[in-house]
Homo-oligomer: A and B are copies of this chain.
Amino acid sequence: MYGRHEHDSCISDAMVAADDICKARGLRFTELRRHVLELVWENHGAVKAYDLLEKLDKDYSAKPPTVYRALEFLQENGLVHKINSLNAYVGCSHPLKHTDCFFLICSNCNEVQECCGSDVAKAVRNMVAGQGFAHNQTTLEIEGVCQECQLEG
């Protein structure tokens, strides 16, 4: 039901981490925001805003701004990332040590794996510095087929 691993703990871990972060930063982790984050974490794939909206709509009578505002809050605080190549959103798997991350997107099972702190980031920094470019934000999204799917395939 939840993919390849015991996924319940992913959600609960993420929620605990989010709680801690919000508490530490004096942010209001409201019911709505919590609920949206839970929905984002229902699986390890990226979720579309309007799918979140539909799910939310059962409890709340949500309209687009509701979900986009929650996503904005979650993104600003590093709890969620937007995958630009999919126009979709994914929970951050390590919000406390998120730096120079990138994403491996399996086009077979749709899981998104977040990777971090690697030589890739170093290479990007070097290359960019060599060009005299002052970089703020890196979007690195790699589409392909994950190992599990290759083995199954």
Contacts and interface: CB of A to CB of B under 8 A. Distances in A.
Interface of A: 84-85, 104, 106-107, 113, 115, 118-120, 122-124, 126-128, 131-147, 150
Given A84-B141, A107-B136, A136-B143, A126 B119 contact: yes
Contact of A139 (B124, B127, B140, B150): B140
Contacts of A141: 84, 138-140
A14 B71 CA distance: 40
A128 B145 contact: no
A142 B124 contact: yes
A104 B128 CA distance: 8
Contacts of A138: 140-143
